[in-house]
């Protein structure tokens, strides 16, 4: 068999493998949506959960998920951008920075349950935050920060060095070059990575079981004072998220319509993650086209 025939065989095998993976993913996605979407209504999305009676919803859990995501990204985005800029533009090439990059790679692959146990020991017990949104947000920050930092560094390093040389040739300082030339050019990749990272932590459960807690107390949506105990913005209250809610109702077995609630919650969670991924591509492409047009 000549090289052209081997090339056709290899191409056919790769297409078959890709098609097989697509079919599996599409089947799994279709099964979750078909089973769950019939249970998703406005009442389901806005009403609180019920433990021993039917008809509960996921309103508080859904709010908790977005609030935790907002706080964790509020903490991790500035830190990851600063760390990525340092590693890409200022860090010297020596064994210390190589060790730091290896540590980031290792931390980005840690199981979320390990991050959750660390958060439980440090934030919940040692710092005394208890099972709270703040503990969960800090745990999610530790879980997501290595990946975001690596994404920022890769995006900055992908910028053409000729643009950096042009800025330096104009007499601009290193920081001015980074701020006005390198960072805007790398912005599409950075934003895409940030949105994908947000989708990653939105569906996280294991790290939050040990930090944010497994209870969703009633919230007073008429009082947004963060120091009020029943306020939705109170960072020191426990907060069961949507992913934790799915795990909890399937493990306890005390909810009469647990199957329906679990299916509906899974469909909402999958759709939210899909929207994060779609938004990452759309926003990244629009920013890239806008920058290239200018």
Domain positions in the chain are 1-39, 41-293
CB atoms within 10 A of CB 201: 28
**Per-residue pLDDT for the chain (294 aa), expressed as one digit of tens each?**
567 777 788 888 999 999 999 999 999 989 999 998 898 889 888 888 887 788 788 888 999 999 999 999 999 999 999 988 888 888 888 888 888 888 888 888 888 889 999 999 999 999 999 899 999 999 999 999 999 999 898 888 887 777 777 767 776 777 888 888 888 888 888 888 888 888 888 888 888 999 988 887 888 888 888 888 888 888 999 989 999 988 888 887 777 888 888 899 899 998 988 888 888 778 777 776 776 665
| Model confidence, pTM | 0.86
pLDDT attached to residue 89: 83
List the CATH code of the domain at 41-293: 1.10.3720.10
| Per-residue confidence (pLDDT) for residue 204, from 0 to 100 | 86
User: Are 241 and 61 contacting, i.e. CB atoms less than 8 angstroms apart?
Assistant: yes
C-alpha–C-alpha distance, residues 219 and 230, integer Å: 5
State the Cα–Cα distance between residues 49 and 172, nearest whole angstrom.
57
First to last CA, the chain: 52
**Which structure tokens are listed for 159?**
């910028």
What is the C-alpha to C-alpha distance for residues 63 and 56, in angstroms, rounded to an integer?
Answer: 15
Contacts of 104-113 spanning 24+ positions with Cβ under 8 A = 104/146, 104/149, 104/150, 105/146, 105/150, 107/142, 107/145, 107/146, 108/146, 108/147, 108/150, 110/143, 111/206, 112/143, 112/204, 112/205, 112/206, 112/207, 113/206, 113/207, 113/210
Helix (H) or strand (E) holding 236: none
């Amino acid at each position: 068999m000549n090289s052209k025939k081997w090339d056709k065989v290899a191409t056919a095998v790769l297409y078959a493998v890709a098609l097989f993976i697509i079919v599996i993913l599409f089947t799994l996605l279709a099964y979750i949506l078909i089973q769950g979407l019939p249970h998703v209504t406005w009442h389901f999305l806005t009403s609180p959960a019920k433990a021993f009676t039917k008809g509960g919803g996921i309103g508080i859990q859904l709010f908790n998920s977005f609030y935790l995501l907002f706080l964790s990204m509020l903490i991790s985005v500035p830190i990851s951008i600063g760390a990525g800029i340092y590693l890409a533009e200022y860090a010297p090439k020596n064994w210390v920075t190589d060790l730091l990059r290896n540590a980031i790679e290792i931390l980005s692959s840690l199981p979320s349950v390990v991050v959750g146990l660390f958060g439980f020991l440090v934030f919940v017990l040692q710092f005394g935050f208890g099972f709270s949104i703040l503990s969960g947000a800090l745990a999610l920050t530790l879980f997501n920060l290595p990946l975001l930092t690596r994404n920022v560094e890769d995006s900055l390093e992908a910028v053409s060095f000729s643009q950096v040389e042009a800025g330096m040739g104009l007499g601009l300082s290193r920081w001015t070059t980074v701020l006005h030339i390198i960072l805007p050019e790398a912005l599409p990749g950075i934003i895409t990575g940030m949105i994908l990272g947000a989708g990653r932590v939105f569906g996280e459960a294991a790290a939050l079981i040990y930090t944010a807690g497994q209870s969703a107390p009633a919230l007073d949506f008429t009082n947004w004072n963060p120091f009020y105990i029943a306020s939705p913005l109170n960072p020191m209250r426990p907060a069961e998220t949507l992913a934790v809610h799915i795990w909890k109702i399937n493990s306890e077995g005390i909810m009469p319509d647990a199957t329906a609630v679990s299916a509906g919650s899974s469909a909402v969670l999958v759709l939210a993650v899909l929207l994060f991924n779609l938004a990452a591509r759309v926003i990244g492409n629009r920013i890239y086209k806008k920058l290239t047009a200018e």
